[in-house]
Structure formats: structure tokens, C-alpha cells
């Protein structure tokens, strides 16, 4: 059965107000911007975001007023903005619930969620102020059923008396967004290059939406099963979105787009200029193709990676 849907259909079907959503990719690498843009168009809010190593796509959700709480290890547009500005402003103003974990703990927690575990034991945060400071109090957590009752619990290791473990709850993900280079109608997808947390969040989520640069037949993707990343059993919708990771880089296909990041670096400095940016590049672009037209064919083609390099030599990044 074909799981191919438009971005509008996939988001309206599987993403709902107040959902816990998790993002694939890594900061400026293979982020699911095309799917996030559609969430913004449909103004689906009250979201609880599992970001891990987050980027500008999550910052746009925050700036659009669609995020209630976020759990991340950091959020940046590396090389352009050290800490994403819409996130920073809401944290400073106290208008966004925020919990902070180390990157390695997030990775372990996502893997635990994929295995069906309710928590994972780690040592990584012990001895740091990540165990001393809670972004979201127990009292506040009681008001938000999507949040775990505690940030963590510290207990003695039952197998090594005298040693302590930090028990970290795993997220209950409603929808995972993942961008892949290749996918087929039955939901099988192929991520080329670094996979980051994408496999784990896809397996952990109740629903997974895959966007892809190339949509091939089921028969074609099965010719080399050893190259495939996710089975269709874990995927609910496949959305054909060439440049669906734009402006982030997508291994083997295109480099990151400095034009976007430089514009966003300036636009995200205030809510007023951010709103104007979102209107111009998302709300005034009803479809992904309209969005691509906005950036121009020549500009997008100039981002295609050069064989033997894996990036665009000489690309002016600042």
C-alpha cells in the first residue's frame, strides 16, 4: 500500500495540537525543514518538542508561537548564530518551558525509547550542574501530561553498591519528522551518511513522517536492502520533497544555503522582523515548490555537491 502523501496531507493527518514531536538531523545537517514549514503554515501549536541537537527549524516553530515546551542539548545555526535567537528570547522572558540534557544523554534516551523502555540509566550527567538545575519543576510538570513527572531520579546502582545512577525518562513521541535522501511508496527509506538519532526517534514514535529528495519504486529500493535505513513498518507517510532539508545540508545532494542562514541571522533578532521573514518565506509560499521558487533555481543548483568533495568548494558562507 502506498504511503505517499503531500506535505499538507501528512501534517494534517498525523500532527495535532499538543503533540510531542521529535526532529531528525543535526543542527544544520539534514533537518526536516520542509515538514516543519508545513506545520507553521497550518499553525499547529502547543507542541512539546524533542530536539536533541536542534537548529533553525525548531527556532522557527518557537518564534511562530507553536511550542509549549522543549527538551534539547543545544540549539544553534552553527557558523551563523551560536544560540538561536527566538529560543533565547523566550527563555529570557520565561515564556517557554525548557529542559536541558547533555547530547549523549539525549542519544541514549532516544535509543531507550526505541526499545520501549520507560527510562534509561546513565552516569553522564552526574557531577555536573545538569543534575542540580531543573528547567521545569515537578509542580509545573504536573500541569503537562506530555512531560515526565521528573527530570530524572538518582538511585544507587543495584549491581555496584556505592555507585550511583541517573535514571532519565524516555520521551513519549507522538510524531517523528525525518528527512531522507531516498524513499519508496511503502515507507522504506535510505539515509546516506550520518544517521544521528533518526532511526531511534522513528522507531519510538507513534507516527513517523519521512520527507525525501528522491522517490523511487518499491522494487528499486529493494535491489540493495543493505543500504536501507528504515523499514516501512515504522513509517506512516512519505512526502516527496526535493530540497526538503533546505537550508541545511543534505549529504551527497546539496550543501547548506548561506543565503537563508544570513537572512535568518538578521531576521531572527526581533519578533517583528522574524514575523516578516516567516510571512515572506512560509505563509506567502503555500507549497514547498513555491518556497523553492522563492530561492530560485540557479541558487539551489549552485548548492549541489561536487563529486569527490561532498560539498561545494568555494561557496561563500559569510
Mean pLDDT value of segment 184-207: 97
Mean pLDDT value of segment 288-313: 95
3 or 124, greater pLDDT: 3
What pLDDT score was predicted for residue 130? 78
Tens digit of pLDDT for each residue in 250-289?
Answer: 999 999 999 999 999 999 999 999 999 999 999 999 999 9
Judged against a pLDDT cut of 90, whether residue 127 lies above it is answered with no
Judged against a pLDDT cut of 90, whether residue 124 lies above it is answered with no
Judged against a pLDDT cut of 90, whether residue 154 lies above it is answered with yes
Q: Is residue 269 part of a domain?
A: yes
Judged against a pLDDT cut of 90, whether residue 153 lies above it is answered with yes
Q: Is residue 125 part of a domain?
A: no
Tell me how far apart the alpha carbons of residues 312 and 255 are, in angstroms, rounded to a whole number: 6
Positive or negative, the Cα torsion across 8, 50, 234, 179? positive
Q: Is residue 291 part of a domain?
A: yes
Mean pLDDT value of segment 173-195: 98
Return the CA Rg of the chain.
Answer: 19
Range of the domain at 84: 1-116+173-318
Burial class of residue 22, CB neighbours in 10 A (0-12, 13-18, 19+):
buried
What pLDDT score was predicted for residue 221? 97
What pLDDT score was predicted for residue 171? 96
Q: Is residue 144 part of a domain?
A: no
259 φ, ψ to 5°? -60, -45
Q: CATH number, domain at 21?
A: 3.40.1080.10
Mean pLDDT value of segment 12-30: 97
Looking at the whole model, is its pTM more than 0.75?
A: yes
Q: Is residue 155 part of a domain?
A: no
Mean pLDDT value of segment 8-16: 98
Q: Are 187 and 210 in contact (CB under 8 A)?
A: yes
Q: Is residue 308 part of a domain?
A: yes
What pLDDT score was predicted for residue 243? 98
Q: How would residue 51 be classed by pLDDT, with cut points 50, 70 and 90? A: confident
Q: Is residue 47 part of a domain?
A: yes
Mean pLDDT value of segment 34-40: 98
167 φ, ψ to 5°? -95, 110
What pLDDT score was predicted for residue 125? 85
Number of domains in the chain: 1
Q: Are 101 and 125 in contact (CB under 8 A)?
A: yes
Tens digit of pLDDT for each residue in 203-248?
Answer: 999 999 999 999 999 999 999 999 999 999 999 999 999 999 999 9
Judged against a pLDDT cut of 90, whether residue 9 lies above it is answered with yes
The average confidence (pLDDT) of the chain is 96
Q: Is residue 129 part of a domain?
A: no
Judged against a pLDDT cut of 90, whether residue 68 lies above it is answered with yes
Mean pLDDT value of segment 152-167: 94
Judged against a pLDDT cut of 90, whether residue 195 lies above it is answered with yes
Tell me how far apart the alpha carbons of residues 44 and 151 are, in angstroms, rounded to a whole number: 26
Of 61, 60, 56, nearest to 21 by C-alpha is 61
Amino acid at each position: 500500500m502506498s504511503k505517499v502523501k503531500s506535505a499538507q496531507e501528512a501534517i494534517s493527518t498525523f500532527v495535532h495540537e499538543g503533540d510531542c514531536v521529535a526532529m531528525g538531523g543535526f543542527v544544520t545537517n539534514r533537518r526536516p525543514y520542509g515538514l516543519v514549514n508545513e506545520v507553521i503554515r497550518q499553525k499547529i501549536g502547543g507542541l512539546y518538542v524533542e530536539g536533541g541537537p536542534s537548529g533553525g527549524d525548531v527556532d522557527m516553530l518557537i518564534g511562530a508561537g507553536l511550542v509549549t515546551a522543549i527538551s534539547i542539548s543545544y540549539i544553534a545555526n552553527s557558523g551563523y548564530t551560536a544560540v538561536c535567537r527566538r529560543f533565547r528570547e523566550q527563555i529570557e522572558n520565561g515564556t517557554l518551558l525548557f529542559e536541558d540534557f547533555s547530547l549523549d544523554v539525549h542519544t541514549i534516551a532516544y535509543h531507550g525509547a526505541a526499545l520501549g523502555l520507560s527510562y534509561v540509566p546513565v552516569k553522564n550527567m552526574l557531577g555536573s550542574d545538569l543534575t542540580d538545575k531543573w528547567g521545569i519543576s515537578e509542580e509545573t510538570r504536573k500541569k503537562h501530561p506530555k512531560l515526565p513527572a521528573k527530570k530524572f531520579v538518582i538511585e544507587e546502582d543495584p549491581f555496584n553498591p556505592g555507585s550511583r545512577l541517573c535514571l532519565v525518562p524516555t520521551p513519549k513521541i507522538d510524531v517523528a519528522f525525518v528527512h531522507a535522501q531516498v524513499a519508496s511508496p511503502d515507507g522504506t527509506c535510505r539515509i546516506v551518511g550520518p544517521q544521528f538519532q533518526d532511526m531511534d526517534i522513528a522507531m519510538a514514535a507513534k507516527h513517523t513522517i519521512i520527507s525525501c529528495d528522491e522517490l523511487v519504486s518499491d522494487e528499486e529500493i529493494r535491489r540493495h536492502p543493505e543500504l536501507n535505513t528504515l523499514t516501512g513498518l515504522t513509517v506512516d507517510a512519505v512526502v516527496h520533497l526535493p530540497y526538503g532539508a533546505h537550508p541545511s545540508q543534505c549529504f551527497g545532494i546539496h550543501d547548506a544555503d548561506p543565503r537563508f542562514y544570513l537572512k535568518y541571522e538578521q531576521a531572527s533578532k526581533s519578533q517583528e522582523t522574524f514575523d516578516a521573514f516567516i510571512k515572506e518565506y512560509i505563509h506567502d509560499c503555500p507549497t514547498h515548490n513555491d518556497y523553492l521558487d522563492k530561492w530560485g533555481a540557479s541558487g539551489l543548483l549552485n548548492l549541489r555537491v561536487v563529486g569527490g568533495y561532498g560539498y561545494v568548494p568555494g561557496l561563500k558562507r559569510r
